[in-house]
Chains A and B, each alone.
Chain A
Amino acid sequence: MNALAARRRHPAAIALLLMLGLLVTGFAYAAVAPQPAQAETSTAEDVAAGKQLFVANCATCHGVNAEGRATGKGDQVAGPALAGVGAAAVDFQMGTGRMPMRAPAVQAPRATVQFSQDEIDKVAAYVASLAPGPAVPSEEDVDPSKGDPAKGGELFRVNCAMCHNFAGSGGALTRGKYAPALEGVSGKHIYEAMETGPQSMPVFNDGNIAPEEKRDIIAFLKSIEDAPQQGGHALGSLGPVTEGWFAWFFGLGILIATAVWLGQKAA
């Protein structure tokens, strides 16, 4: 101890300490950091076929090597670079018909799916081969029957409802962007959206919402989709705006019609 204390003013001490600090931080981070999900094993042929599909359908915007392209107008991007987005992002974007994008717009809307699942898997394999990224979740990861809808509901209200609405009916964002309605979206795509954060959506990685919790959220969404309409027609599950609209036009309309009818009745 005395020897150490004596050398604490040695010119090399500061460098040594820095080195030590960096090493400890580095190892500690490596130990606790969320593991990037590994792409599913895929054959070299899949990757090659995927690359072919990619060049034919996606390269116009994303570049021949998926390096991304600018439009040349300011810092506008035609398509972002895709290294590291993972198979999950490809599966989500192509599997919901958002990609290939039909027209430039503030946001890619959900649309008819243009490719078979097999083709989508191949493109996903190619993109995943560029750099490691989140993989497509397994059947079990997204099985709503294994999740807890009550817990999922709580997570949904805390993390998702501010944009997607309490019943997943969707909500508006700035400048024409929007959080889409979640009704009819498959569990796999919901999981992938949370994992990859498409468009305006933030990424909810496994450190943020654990895989089981993601499954709970899927279970919640499926449960409200399957639930009977306890109170009758839900009027779009959009809250008091549609209720007020309904009271004014429908409720008042019928009541005035009956008032006019009664007024015309001879006494």
Chain B
Amino acid sequence: MSTDTVPSGRPADRLRDGDTKVEPGPSAAARKVGGVAGWIDDRTSSAKGVNYLLRKVFPDHWSFMLGEIAMYSLIICLISGALLTLWFVPSATQVVYDGSYVPLRGQTMSDAYASTLNISFDIKGGLIVRQIHHWAALMFVVGLTVHMFRVFFTGAFRKPRELNWVIGTVLALLAAIEGFAGYSLPDDLLSGTGLRAMEGFVQTAPVIGSYLAYGIFGGPFPGEAIIPRLYSAHVLLLPAVIVGLFTAHIVLVAVQRHTQFPGPGRTNDNVVGYRVMPVYAAKAGGFFFIVFGIIALISALFTINPIWAYGPYDPSPVTAGSQPDWYMGAYDGALRLLPGWLEFEIFGNTLSLNIALGALVLLPLVYIVLGAYPFVERWVTGDTGEHHLLDRPRNNPTRTGIGMAGIVAYSVFMFAAGNDIMAIKLGMSINDITRVFQISLFVGPPLAFWVTKRICLSLQRRDRDLALHARESGRIMRGADGSFHERHDALTEQERWILVQHEPVAPLQLTAQVDENGVERPLSRKDRLRAKLSHFYFKDAVNPVTPAELAAAHHDGQQAEAIEAPLDYEGIDGRQDHGPGDGGHGADVDSQARGVGSASRMKE
């Protein structure tokens, strides 16, 4: 604005007005930093890459930080784990404990257990590092699980991110296995019981079971081989694979751009947000310290895995309340729910389906279903487009319903693993609790699907209603002829955009069964299935308000209300007189309504 006006001040200043300003040179400190950076760049040519990374734009939303919780917990696990390796002795050699924990002094135990006791009681700060390691491990899997929820329910796994979803699924599986290996290392009563259970699961594999178990344990249970083997898997093999896949995961996020929630100015071709430097460097860097601080605080105040209380492992005893860590709980729960009559004897060989189904089938199944979902959805919906804008969960009711059904099914399995704790804490019969879980395994997921889908559909209808008729203000106006009607507050264009931006959907139609020459065209079974599934996905879809509908609502739509308030449209109409749809021409409204996003902020 000011450039149009005549500049004020002395005439001499006016003459210098068009001069290019001499920018003050960089400060001495900045020059020094630049010198170092230049030195490095001359030798590594890294300036381009660093520039690319630091200028990268990321969108802002709290749910995008759920993955960061997992990432930071993983880093904390790596740091604390490296410290623990300095003192942990991965050996099953039997020693007599002579440390400072009196209730176990003089007992024979493995070196692994004795060294874990030493870490807990005799090495300064050892116990808190152990507890940080274990709490961070739990938070790692919790974090990646809720991160998966976010990605699933917002449809962030769609093209081009299917591959990254699969990598994430593999990471989730490896995290659970890595956690189990760590849980089994200290050779206390609980971890030994877990290993014994694992041996049993492996043995239920038909035909190869006992050979497999012998192979894993290097002979009969427990043997001396399992602890060193688990150790190398836990500190070397699995972390290497996890860190490698995790790096690929992050690189893909950077290369493919981060998805963003729909909003004004946000399109499939841009990212609206802030650059890494300085905003996310500060935010994400700060969040790391927050996560570390909270985990350290929890570790300082709350016991986790008190191995000294469990006592050394001995194959004969077992303790009440033997459960795995939560991420393995679902499979333990499945064992508690499976009926015993699933054990069969075939030609003198026992087939323990009552165990194998829960232990050997369910675990891979969970991750296979997760990994395959994007491909199934893509095939069913026929949606081959790229998506960088996220779905609001309500705008895909079937997917959201499927997700909730999956969560309920998994939760039933997981909670079933705590049936004994519930029985004693709630004063109920464990048999009844187990029966309730068995029933809810079949009733719960369909119910969750139905309820979720209904909620989503009603939310969508509410969105439509809001887009068409805006908000009822509660202000009653009286017209000149004595009629009454309620004023509706107009939505801003930004508000309406969020409600109408998503793509309309419809079930795939089967092509005509008879071609133009009257020759019957048999449909493949695959096509029929696809049409049926597409129908299941979209049959009751509530599509967004179209510009034409919006225009109609502004002009003719009042007729519906006119039935209740038969006179004086002006009063009602007054609310939206200046809305973008007022022109009533569909195409114009479209460009207007969808053009809201020209505004503001940085774009990439």
| A contact residues vs B (CB 8 Å cutoff) | 106, 149-150, 153-154, 157-158, 161-167, 169-176, 178-179, 220, 223-224, 227, 229-235, 237-248, 250-252, 254-256, 258-260, 262-265, 267
B306 x A262 contact (CB < 8 A)? no
**Residues 426 to 440 of chain B near chain A (Cβ within 8 Å):** 427-432
Q: How far is the CA of A258 from the CA of B139 in the complex (A)?
A: 15
User: Given A154-B107, A260-B62, A223–B102 Cβ distance below 8 Å?
Assistant: yes
Q: Are B321 and A169 in contact (CB under 8 A)?
A: yes
- B61 contacts A by Cβ under 8 Å: yes
- B326 and A244 form a contact (CB under 8 A): yes
Q: How far is the CA of A243 from the CA of B138 in the complex (A)?
A: 9
Known: A170-B320, A244-B325, A252-B146. 9 other contacts (CB 8 A): A150-B107, A161-B189, A166-B310, A172-B320, A175-B430, A220-B103, A239-B323, A254-B294, A264-B62
CB within 8 A of B139: which of A157, A237, A247?
A247
- Give the residues in chain B near A178, CB-CB below 8 Å: 423-424
A residues in contact with B103, CB < 8 Å = 149-150, 153, 220, 223-224, 227
Asked whether, in the complex, the Cβ of B320 is within 8 Å of the Cβ of A157, the reply is no
CB closest residue in chain B, given A234: B303
The residue that A263 contacts in the complex, of B61, B138, B325, with Cβ under 8 A, is B61
On chain A, the residues within 8 Å of B301 by CB distance are 232-233
Are B274 and A230 in contact, with the CB atoms below 8 A?
Answer: no
Residue of B with least CB distance to A254: B294
Known A149-B102, A230-B120, A263-B61; contact A172-B319, beta-carbon cutoff 8 A: no
- Contact in complex: A231, B138 (CB < 8 Å): no
- Is B35 an interface residue when CB atoms closer than 8 A count as contact? no
**CB-CB nearest in chain A for B290:** A258
Q: How far is the CA of A159 from the CA of B427 in the complex (A)?
A: 24
Say whether A243 contacts B104, CB under 8 Å.
no
* Stretch from B154-162, B214-222, B413-421 that touches the partner: B413-421
Please tell me if B239 contacts chain A, counting CB pairs below 8 Å.
Answer: no
A149 to chain B, nearest CB (A): 5
Q: Which residues of A contact B417 (CB under 8 A)?
A: 241
A232 contacts B303, CB within 8 Å? yes
Q: Which of B283, B314, B326 is close to A248, meaning CB atoms less than 8 Å apart?
A: B326
The answer to whether A251 and B298 have CB atoms under 8 Å apart is yes
Asked if B300 is an interface residue, CB under 8 A from chain A, the answer is: yes
Closest to B137 in A: A247
Most buried by A among B103, B107, B308, B430: B103
Q: Once bound together, how far apart are the Cα atoms of A251 and B134, in whole Å?
A: 13
A259 contacts B320, CB within 8 Å? no
Option from B303, B323, B428, B430 in Cβ contact (under 8 Å) with A173: B430
**Chain A nearest Cβ from B434, distance in angstroms:** 10
Given contacts A163-B320, A237-B309, A243-B304, is CB(A230)–CB(B121) below 8 Å? yes
B295 at the interface (CB under 8 A from A): yes
> Distance in Å from the Cβ of B184 to the closest Cβ of chain A?
13
What is the chain B residue whose CB lies nearest that of A170? B424
CB closest chain-A residue, reference B146: A252
| In the assembled complex, B47 has its CB within 8 A of some CB on chain A | no
Residues of chain A contacted by B279 (CB below 8 angstroms)? 267
Q: By the criterion CB–CB under 8 Å, are B189 and A157 in contact?
A: yes
Closest A residue to B294 by beta carbon equals A254
Question: Is there an interface contact between B142 and A247, defined as CB atoms closer than 8 Å?
Answer: yes
Task: List residues of chain B with CB within 8 A of the CB of A171.
Answer: 320-321, 420, 424
Report A-chain residues with C-beta under 8 Å of the C-beta of B318: 161-162
Enumerate chain A residues within 8 angstroms of B428, measured Cβ to Cβ.
Answer: 176
Taking CB atoms, residues of chain A closer than 8 Å to B287 are 258-259, 262
**8 Å CB contact of A231 from B69, B190, B302, B421:** B302
CA distance A61 to B521 in the complex (A): 83
Contact in complex: A230, B306 (CB < 8 Å): yes
In the complex, A74→B448 CA distance in Å? 44
With A231-B306, A243-B305, A255-B291 in contact, do A262 and B106 touch (Cβ < 8 Å)?
no
CB distance B66 to A161 under 8 Å? no
A-B contact pairs, 17 of them (CB 8 A): A106-B429, A150-B105, A165-B320, A166-B321, A170-B320, A172-B421, A227-B103, A230-B303, A231-B302, A231-B306, A239-B190, A239-B421, A247-B139, A252-B142, A252-B143, A254-B294, A258-B290
> Is B60 interfacial (CB 8 A cutoff)?
yes
Residues of A within 8 A of B319 (CB): 157, 161-162, 165-166, 239
Nearest residue (CB) in A for B323 is A240
Residue among A163, A241, A256 with most chain B CB within 10 A = A241
Least distance between B39 CB and chain A CB atoms (Å) = 32
Nearest B residue (CB) for A233: B302
Q: Are B65 and A248 in contact (CB under 8 A)?
A: no
Distance in angstroms between the alpha carbons of A258 and B291 in the assembled complex:
9
Complex Cα–Cα for A158 and B322 (A):
14
**Nearest A residue (CB) for B190:** A239
Task: Give the residues in chain A near B316, CB-CB below 8 Å.
Answer: 158
Q: Which residues of A contact B401 (CB under 8 A)?
A: none
A240 to chain B, nearest CB (A): 5
Query: Does chain A have a CB within 8 A of B127?
Result: yes
User: Cβ of B306 and Cβ of A237 under 8 Å apart?
Assistant: yes
The answer to whether A176 touches B60 (Cβ under 8 A) is: no
Chain A residues whose CB sits within 8 angstroms of the CB of B421 once the complex forms: 172, 238-239, 241-242
Q: What are the residues of chain A within 8 A of B286 when measuring CB–CB?
A: 262
Q: How many Å lie between the Cα of A223 and that of B103 in the bound state?
A: 7
**What is the CA–CA distance of A169 and B294 in the complex, to the nearest angstrom?**
28
A259 touches B308 (CB 8 A): no
Q: Does B152 contact A (CB under 8 A)?
A: no
